[in-house]
Amino acid sequence: MEENVNLTAERSLEIITEQIERSRNVVAKDTGQLLYLSGLATMGTAVIVALVNGLSASPMGQFLWLILPFIIWGIKRIHDKKQVQAPVSLVGTLVVRTWWSFGCIVIGFYLFALIWNILVLRLYDNLTTATQAMVTITPVIILLMGMAVAVTGHILKRRWLVLFGILGGLLVAICEYSGVIRAIIVYSVASVKTIIVLNLITPCLSIFLFSLIGLVIPGWMLKKQNP
């Protein structure tokens, strides 16, 4: 009798483990589709912002980033409507809350940095001093995005996704923060006006690059995996 109880308990644990793993695989494919589409939307927005900044020779295009959360929200709504309603799972809830937290932090930080930088430019007459007092936005957002991708990889038990998030986030953020791309531009371009325009475009290039490495490619790999 006791052996039967032990066997039943072991079988119950096996069934629960199988259900969690099945749920994780379903959520992985679903997450992959959303990462893929969100990455494409982010890359598209980066191109538009770069074009606006380049053509206007001003950072006015930065305000267009505020539209991106609504675009991604719309993509998710359309995606959810097309999907068959499935029971709420712990894995799915953790992934959703991870990206919800990421979105709230990024939007809050971006608004603060945007307002702060505008005030700094108005308060300081010396452009060099103003630049030193300004908040650097792009590397922080890239690092936060990389962390969100890595945490998603841990939840889904996809080690390669963790590596994509950590390495992609670190490499792109370090290049952006250290000014490697800007240094190459300064040494290769003579015109001051061209340098200013290209400096307005390089953050968009960094976000475009990480969206490709950290969102689109991992998303495509996840959604192509067999459940």
Residues 6+ apart with CB under 8 A from 185: 195, 198, 199, 202
Distance CA 105, CA 43 (A): 20
32-36, 89-93, 163-167: segment of lowest average pLDDT: 89-93
C-alpha distance from residue 192 to each of 129, 185, 196, 200 (Å)? 19, 11, 6, 13
In this prediction the pTM is: 0.77
Q: Give CA–CA dist 106/103, Å, rounded.
A: 5
The tokens describing 166, both together, are: 């950590």
pLDDT tens column, 60-95: 888 888 899 899 888 888 877 776 655 556 777 788
At residue 91's C-alpha, the angle toward residues 88 and 95, to 5°, is 100
* 197 touches 177 (CB < 8 A): no
Average pLDDT over residues 15-25: 63
C-alpha distances in Å from residue 169, one per residue of 24, 100, 154, 184: 24, 19, 16, 21
Rounded to an integer, the average pLDDT of 38-47 is: 92
Percentage above 70 pLDDT, the chain = 75
Distance (Å, whole) CA 28 – CA 214: 15
3-state secondary structure of 89: coil
Query: 200 with 59: CB under 8 angstroms?
Result: yes
- Tokens describing residue 68: 């991106």
Q: So where are the chain's domains?
A: 2-224
Q: How many whole angstroms separate alpha carbon 81 and alpha carbon 25?
A: 20
Q: Are 112 and 143 in contact (CB under 8 A)?
A: no
Least confident of 53-67, 84-98, 147-161: 84-98
